[in-house]
């Protein structure tokens, strides 16, 4: 399977997942994000160990130092990812939010729903 095919498959899966997430309530979304943040912290030693294997492969493949730096995961990077998930959980849920409401001449209310 080519890289383009893999990316296309992942995009299709992400689109399908987004449809399912529209039906999930805010509490469940937020608790899932909090759970994922906790799992990242709990498993950070394992993540770093596996990342070392990835970095060895990257060096072997001749990736640039800049690219290897971008691939490198340490405790600070993982903590930042977990903090980011918690920040997203704390944001207001935009799903179902109505914006830009206006009234048409015939009295019909029209608005944008996220």
DSSP string, 28-50: HHHHHHHHHHHHHHHTHHHHHHH
For 5-34, write each residue's pLDDT tens digit.
Answer: 999 999 999 989 888 877 888 899 999 999
Taking residue 63's Cβ as centre, other Cβ atoms within 10 Å add up to: 15
For 33-66, write each residue's pLDDT tens digit.
Answer: 999 999 999 999 999 999 999 999 999 999 999 9
The predicted model scores a pTM of 0.70
């Amino acid at each position: 399977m080519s890289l383009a095919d893999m990316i296309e498959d992942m995009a299709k899966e992400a689109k399908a997942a987004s449809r399912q997430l529209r039906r999930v309530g805010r509490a469940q979304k937020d608790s899932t994000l909090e759970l994922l943040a906790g799992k990242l912290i709990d498993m950070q030693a394992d993540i770093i160990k596996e990342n070392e294997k990835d970095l060895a492969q990257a060096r072997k493949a001749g990736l640039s130092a800049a690219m290897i730096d971008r691939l490198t995961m340490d405790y600070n990077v993982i903590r930042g990812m977990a903090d980011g998930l918690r920040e997203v959980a704390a944001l207001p849920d935009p799903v179902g939010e109505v914006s830009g409401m206006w009234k048409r001449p015939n009295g019909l209310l029209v608005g944008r729903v996220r």
